Amino acid sequence: MAIIFDLGRVVVSWDPVGIVSSVRGSQGAAQLAERLFHHPDWLEVDRGTMSLHTMARQAESRTGLSAAENLAILQAVPPSLQPDPAMLTLMAELHSAGHSLYALSNMGHASIDWLEQHQTFWRFFSGKVVSARVRMMKPEPDIYRYLLVSFDLKPAECIFIDDSPANVAAAEALGIKGMVFTDAARCRQQLVGLGCLPAIGKG
């Protein structure tokens, strides 16, 4: 079975308010995170069509911060993407059981570059597709098709795990089995239910 993982809020943490707080302090962090990350410009960064420097300049009017101050927050994103130890254990277990693991993520260049340089969990993966590198994004059907074609995968033999119901629904529309991620324990339970892992221990 091919098991396809989203990265942010599944394999690694994604906490915009925490990122802003780490740079600027907690006061007003939620509002600032909203203005920076819940904006079409951030989607363009994920798509690979806008640089962090350009976004930082364009965000000045809506954040009330200088481009340099905005950039400091944006540059704090990559090192904040820390892996969930429980997910690392689960991925190792799935890999040992003979499943092929893939990553399918909406992520900008700086973040994926940082993860590739600093994290070792890639050893579990047979391949990855990242939005900024292919100029496509979930839940657009083309990015799922790109993954399937790139790695010669059949939809019926794939499971896709993502924290976004919309992204999961898009996968299911293409015939891929979808799972909405909430936490590692529930994810493991669901994979056991699908016969991907034994119920207790590693068998």
What string of pLDDT tens digits covers the 203 residues of the chain?
Answer: 999 999 999 999 999 999 999 999 999 999 999 999 999 999 999 999 999 999 999 999 999 999 999 999 999 999 999 999 999 999 999 999 999 999 999 999 999 999 999 999 999 999 999 999 999 999 999 999 999 999 999 999 999 999 999 999 999 999 999 999 999 999 999 999 999 999 865 44
Whether the CB-CB separation of 190 and 179 falls below 8 Å is answered with: yes
List, edge to edge, every strand of the sheet that includes 177-180.
Answer: 125-130, 100-105, 2-5, 158-162, 177-180
Residues of the domain holding 120? 2-13+81-193
What's the rounded Cα separation, in Å, for the pair 185 and 89?
11
What's the rounded Cα separation, in Å, for the pair 129 and 131?
7
Q: Note whether residue 144 is domain-resident.
A: yes
64: left (phi over 0), alpha (psi -120 to 50) or beta: left
Q: Say whether both 56 and 75 belong to one domain.
A: yes
Whether the CB-CB separation of 2 and 100 falls below 8 Å is answered with: yes
**CATH (domain of 151):** 3.40.50.1000
